[in-house]
Amino acid sequence: MTHIEPRTWERFFWPVLVCALLLALWHYCVVWTATRIFPSPLEVERGMAELLRQNVLWGDIVDSLRRVAVGFGAAAVLGIPLGLIFGWYPAANQVVNPAMQILRPISPIAWIPVAIIFFGVGDNAAIFLIFLGAFFPIVVSCTDGVSNVPSVSRRAGRNFGLSPLQLLAKVVFPAALPQIIVGLRIALGIAWLVVVAAEMIAVDSGLGYLIIDSRNSGKRYDLVVAAMLLIGVIGLALDLGFRKLERIKSVRWGFRDDS
Amino acid sequence: MVGGIADLVRHGLLLKYVVASLFRVTWGFVLAVIFAIPIGLTIGWYRRAQMAFNPIIQILRPISPLAWIPIAILWFGVGDLAAIFLIFMGCFLPLLLTAINAVQSIPLVYINAGRNFGLRPAELVYRVLYPAVIPKLIVGLRITLGIAWLVVVAAEMIAVSSGLGFLIVDARNAGNRYDLVVAGMVLIGIIGLLLDVGIRSLERVKSFRWSYSED
């Protein structure tokens, strides 16, 4: 809340300074404690370079992204219409809501045994877990989005003689879209969290597997940390990509308050 | 499934596992609250601090708390501490972000008004900042408690040998008792729901409510 606007150079200077300080702290902690197991930043960087050279990394990244894309896509395809229906018919929402509230806090990871009986160990189990992780947030945000549409807009639509389907397509959906997109963004973040966990247990490729595998086969903690940083960077890129969507003009009209 | 639950209750295991899970969630969550909220409020208050820390927070945030499992086991061994560390990691960054956002969204008018009335910094914090951020913090706490409950189950499936997550994995590995698996999942769901309802009741406390005036 300091009132002086930061200058342009500060925008780069401070983050770089803090990053450098933290890296130095990390490096010297490793040096001081004389640990053999935990890697220093330089070792992590070398580990990352090694991964890049071996070309396994791209396969793992592509596998993880593919699982997220399929699981998240399925959750969006099923979740958005369901959420719209629940928002549109409050009675339906009241029927389903208690069951949803009980299913929602169950960790997608807790479904692992069930996923494995249904789908065996493999891609489908991981995709199912991601689907479950992303599905509930999407449904809830769609339901909220629709029920928050001001009734003025609906009545105006009716007065112009729109049929219920037209009303849904031309008024309700666009008005709810901003909230739906926020829900999708949150769900994508969750999907990215779940894929890593699922890959640590249920399959043998992908970034999560890379972490577990580098630990189990020879305590390569430099690769563990390198993989974690990669997961962070890719997750950030996904989030930024989605934020771009929020800024598209035709999506924006529902963001009334904060333009 | 009902038979499965009755079995567990009779052996006294169920209560033990529920308590073990809740114990870990409580410690991990409380530690995260103690560290994240003051740090977050401080970072949010200073524009430059926020600029400085933002990139790191954004990179660390998408890392699944479970990806920390190898490191948690390396540092703390297999046991309660590792699970608590994972829950802490899962809660810390979301809470930190909530606290930062909460401070930044205080209308400047409030702060200027407080200053005009000649409040000293300590009074300003206590009488203006604290009440203004509380509603947002409570929403953040609720979301984070949900995350903690998700993480504890996963952590218990890997890092310890008690708790509801362990119950699920153990029931499957020791003889494919899928009735117990499903019973464990339903219990997790119900307890998660109760936690959520409990923390929602905080939102209704009178002294927290004043900045909800807009809705």
Scanning every residue of chain B, which has its alpha carbon at the shortest distance from the alpha carbon of A36? B74
Number of domains forming the structure of chain B: 1
Which of A10, A107, A221 faces B153 most closely, judged by CB atoms? A107
pLDDT value of residue A55? 77
Summarised one tens digit per residue, pLDDT across range A39-57 is: 888 888 888 888 888 777 8
pLDDT value of residue A4? 62
Is A1's CB within 8 Å of B69's CB?
Answer: no
Number of domains forming the structure of chain A: 1
Is there a domain that residue A19 lies in? no
How much is the average pLDDT of A105-124? 84
Q: What secondary structure, in 3-state letters, does chain B show?
A: CHHHHHHHHHCCHHHHHHHHHHHHHHHHHHHHHHHHHHHHHHHHHCHHHHHHHHHHHHHHCCCCHHHHHHHHHHHHCCCHHHHHHHHHHHHHHHHHHHHHHHHHCCCHHHHHHHHHCCCCHHHHHHHHHHHHHHHHHHHHHHHHHHHHHHHHHHHHHHCCCCCHHHHHHHHHHCCCCHHHHHHHHHHHHHHHHHHHHHHHHHHCCHHHHHHHCCC
Is there a domain that residue B210 lies in? no
Is there a domain that residue A190 lies in? yes
Interface of B with A in 135-164 (CB under 8 A): 146, 149-151, 153-154, 157-158
pLDDT value of residue B88? 94
Is there a domain that residue A219 lies in? yes
Is there a domain that residue A20 lies in? no
Is there a domain that residue B56 lies in? yes
Is there a domain that residue B67 lies in? yes
pLDDT value of residue A259? 35
Average pLDDT for consecutive 10-residue bins of chain B (215 residues)? 74 85 93 93 86 88 86 85 91 91 84 85 81 83 87 83 86 81 86 88 68 45
Scanning every residue of chain B, which has its alpha carbon at the shortest distance from the alpha carbon of A233? B59
CATH of residue B158: 1.10.3720.10
State the residue range of the domain holding B123: 2-205
Is there a domain that residue A29 lies in? no
Is A221's CB within 8 Å of B70's CB?
Answer: yes
State the residue range of the domain holding A228: 37-252
Whether chain B has a CB inside 8 Å of the CB on A243: the answer is no
Q: B89 contacts in A (CB within 8 Å)?
A: none
Give B114-122's long-range contacts (Cβ < 8 A, gap of 24+).
none
Is there a domain that residue B198 lies in? yes
Is there a domain that residue A134 lies in? yes
Which of A2, A192, A208 faces B47 most closely, judged by CB atoms? A2
Whether chain A has a CB inside 8 Å of the CB on B51: the answer is yes
| pLDDT band with cut points at 50, 70 and 90 for residue A71 | very high
Scanning every residue of chain B, which has its alpha carbon at the shortest distance from the alpha carbon of A106? B189
